[in-house]
């Protein structure tokens, strides 16, 4: 039976178990998950928080991470600016990035979620408004949501992956994990 672990990856932690390449070691998954034989199914950049799935099953890992399977990932993004519906339309149609066009995303404005505090907190500029967006994509390029929002003039200040397919981070504090039944 395959193992599937839901982890709420904190800000500043690498989505890997070792950091051998860095001259000064940075926090990794090994400081959070004391299990052997499980590996991340996809990645979440160091500056992002939220759901990271770990499994010991290569086929399940591929089904979760491979863009060909189009498993949806939902992010809650705090962006700089106060976009109108028209400003969000390019995200819904797909944005052309330096590595090609993205698939269309589902995007809507949401009220500010009640999250755990981030350490360090985001930068706040009193003269520039910000808002929260719920963004669902079906691919997973490097820093894709950040590049998409920046590409339409809405730089991301905080990014939390909330859901991957049927699994959500709800109920997990940063650094906490739980094992669930694998499909």
45 catalytic per annotation: yes
* Omega cis (within 30) before 120: yes
CATH number at residue 174: 3.30.70.580
pLDDT digits (tens, 9 = 90+) for 131-141: 999 999 998 88
Q: Print the domain residue range for 95.
A: 72-164
* Percent of the chain topping pLDDT 90: 76
Q: How far apart are CA 65 and CA 140, in angstroms?
A: 7
Quote the pTM value.
0.93
Q: Which residues of the chain have pLDDT under 50?
A: none
Same domain, 17 and 51: yes
pLDDT of amino acid 116: 92
Contact 11, 47 (CB under 8 A): yes
Residue 37, Cα to own-chain centre: how many angstroms? 23
Same domain, 145 and 178: no
As for how many domains the chain has, the answer is 2
> Helix, strand, or coil here: 40?
strand
pLDDT digits (tens, 9 = 90+) for 28-40: 999 999 999 999 9
pLDDT of amino acid 119: 84
DSSP string, 74-126: EEEEEEES---HHHHHHHHH--EETTEEPPP-EEEEEPPP-PPPPSSPPP--T
Of the residues 19, 45, 57, 66, which is catalytic?
45
């Amino acid at each position: 039976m395959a193992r599937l672990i839901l982890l709420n990856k904190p800000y500043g932690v690498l989505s890997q178990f070792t950091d051998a390449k860095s001259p000064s070691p940075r926090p990794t998954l090994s400081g959070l998950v004391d299990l052997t034989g499980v590996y991340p199914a996809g990645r979440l950049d160091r500056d992002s928080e939220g759901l990271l799935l770990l499994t010991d099953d290569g086929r399940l890992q591929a089904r979760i991470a491979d863009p060909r399977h189009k498993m949806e990932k939902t992010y809650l993004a705090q962006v700089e600016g106060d976009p109108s519906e028209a400003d969000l339309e390019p995200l819904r149609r797909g944005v052309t990035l330096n590595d090609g066009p993205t698939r269309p995303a589902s995007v809507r404005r949401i009220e500010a979620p009640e999250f755990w505090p981030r350490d360090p907190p985001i930068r706040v500029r009193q003269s520039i408004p910000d808002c929260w967006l719920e963004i669902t994509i079906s691919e997973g390029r490097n820093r894709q949501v950040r590049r998409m929002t920046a590409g339409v003039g809405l730089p991301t200040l905080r990014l939390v992956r909330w859901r991957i397919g049927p699994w959500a981070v709800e109920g997990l504090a940063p650094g906490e994990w739980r094992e669930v039944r694998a499909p």
